[in-house]
């Protein structure tokens, strides 16, 4: 089996859907901009690329027509480079990274771009015409279509208070703002024309968060302040084999050490990272206590807090530059951001092992373990 390495990572600015600076940008243009920038930064001849794996949670409208191929052509890549769109909802681009690593492991290519895109301004949550199976009962439809209620379910099951969720959200915002002010996000962002910074992080305080109305359930605890915002964004990683890295003098960030997917009940989809993480850690031959970097998607504060309780994760290693509550969650792009960020933090801050994990609507979890190169 051939070892796969995360060599580099770039993303677009992440901006609020509908009202943000990228709301008028087509998703294929946004993804193409990131792909082209990553190829330029690598210094590689793009003809060496085997495939472009691009995650997208709702591949329709402007995100349709195999958006991976559309973005690759728009980026000016050679016609010889393949492209495939990957859909595992929120886990789409983490799955795209695994597809690249898996192809490398079986000798089916040496260099891949794996990432994702979601322009939630252009294609709405659940797509333009969601049609769940008419045989499903109301509970099944709700669990599939209303992610906020699944977060409320976890808050209730795990006894997570509104105050705990708001405190977590405030910490995420503060970390993201501090990281941006310190220039710690600049290296991972490639501008789209004049848009060069994330638009989602916002200064807030406990009083403002406490004053927000609940969104999904009367008397509930999930608000716009302790959940990730609708977001526009794209991301990409360069994934290469060990031999390719050596031949081309590349300096990889991390090797892919373990991966897993898991399922759970749709109504508690946010707990998905727990079993996926346990399986990925076991496959990497390590324990959670050995993790130096943890990037867990913050779909909702309640979801992250529930997962951390079950996994007994050290919060000091969790989302140290902020998470999706602050940075945003462009569904199909988030997984590659998590992997790329985790790998980058191993290089930037030191450490041996990192985890990238997220929950997935419909009741799944996905996780990847990385080891510093």
**148 C-beta neighbours (distance < 10 Å), count:** 19
Enzyme catalytic residues: 90, 329, 359
Decide if pLDDT at 144 tops 80. yes
Q: What is the mean pLDDT of the chain?
A: 97
Angle between helices 301-311 and 147-157 (to 10 degrees): 40
pLDDT at 181: 98
DSSP state of 192: B
Decide if pLDDT at 1 tops 80. no
pLDDT at 316: 82
Q: pTM for this one?
A: 0.98
Task: Read off the pLDDT of residues 233-289 as tens digits, 9 standing for 90 and up.
Answer: 999 999 999 999 999 999 999 999 999 999 999 999 999 999 999 999 999 999 999
Q: How confident is the model at residue 210 (pLDDT cuts 50, 70, 90)?
A: very high
Decide if pLDDT at 146 tops 90. yes
353-360/293-296 β-pairing: parallel
Decide if pLDDT at 114 tops 90. yes
Kindly list the distances between the CA atom of residue 133 and the CA atoms of 144, 147, 180, 363, in Å, as whole numbers in the listed order.
Answer: 11, 18, 44, 16
Decide if pLDDT at 164 tops 80. yes
pLDDT at 315: 82
Task: Read off the pLDDT of residues 340-372 as tens digits, 9 standing for 90 and up.
Answer: 999 999 999 999 999 999 999 999 999 999 999
pLDDT at 124: 94
Decide if pLDDT at 327 tops 80. yes
Kindly list the distances between the CA atom of residue 314 and the CA atoms of 15, 264, 289, 305, 308, in Å, as whole numbers in the listed order.
Answer: 29, 24, 8, 11, 8
Task: Read off the pLDDT of residues 7-44 as tens digits, 9 standing for 90 and up.
Answer: 999 999 999 999 999 999 999 999 999 999 999 999 99
Distance, in Å, from the CA atom of 82 to the CA atom of 336, rounded to the nearest integer, reads 19
pLDDT at 314: 84
User: Exposed/middle/buried for 216, CB within 10 Å: 0-12, 13-18, 19+?
Assistant: middle
Distance, in Å, from the CA atom of 56 to the CA atom of 58, rounded to the nearest integer, reads 6
pLDDT at 44: 98
């Amino acid at each position: 089996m051939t070892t796969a390495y995360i060599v580099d990572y770039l993303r677009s600015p992440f901006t609020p859907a509908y009202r943000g600076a990228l709301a008028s940008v087509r998703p294929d243009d946004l993804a193409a901009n990131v792909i082209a920038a990553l190829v330029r930064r690598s210094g590689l001849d793009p003809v060496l690329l085997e495939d472009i794996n691009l995650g997208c949670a709702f591949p329709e409208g402007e995100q349709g027509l195999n958006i991976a191929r559309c973005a690759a052509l728009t980026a000016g890549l050679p016609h010889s480079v393949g492209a495939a769109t990957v859909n595992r909802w929120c886990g789409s681009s983490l799955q795209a990274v695994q597809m690249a690593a898996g192809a490398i492991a079986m000798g089916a290519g040496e260099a891949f771009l794996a990432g994702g895109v979601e322009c939630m301004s252009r294609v709405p949550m659940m797509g333009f015409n969601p049609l769940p199976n008419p045989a499903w009962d109301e509970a099944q439809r709700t669990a599939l279509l209303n992610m906020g209620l699944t977060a409320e379910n976890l808050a209730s099951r795990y006894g997570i208070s509104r105050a705990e969720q708001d405190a977590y959200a405030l910490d995420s915002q503060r970390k993201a703002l501090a990281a941006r002010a310190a220039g710690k996000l600049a290296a991972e962002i490639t501008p789209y024309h004049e848009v060069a910074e994330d638009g989602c992080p916002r200064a807030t305080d406990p009083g403002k968060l406490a004053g927000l109305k609940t969104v999904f359930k009367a008397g509930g605890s999930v608000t716009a302040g302790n959940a990730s915002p609708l977001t526009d964004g794209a991301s990409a990683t360069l994934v290469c084999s060990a031999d390719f890295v050596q031949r081309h003098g590349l300096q990889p960030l991390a090797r892919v050490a373990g991966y897993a997917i898991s399922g759970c009940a749709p109504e508690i989809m946010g707990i998905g990272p727990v079993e996926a993480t346990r399986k990925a850690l076991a496959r990497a031959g390590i324990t959670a206590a050995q993790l130096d970097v943890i990037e867990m998607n913050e779909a909702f504060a309640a979801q992250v807090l529930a997962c951390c309780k079950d996994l007994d994760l050290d919060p000091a290693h969790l989302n140290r530059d902020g998470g999706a509550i602050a940075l945003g969650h462009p569904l199909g792009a988030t997984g590659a951001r998590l992997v790329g960020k985790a790998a980058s933090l191993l290089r930037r801050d030191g450490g041996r092992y990192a985890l990238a994990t997220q929950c997935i609507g419909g009741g799944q979890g996905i996780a990847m373990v990385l080891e510093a190169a």
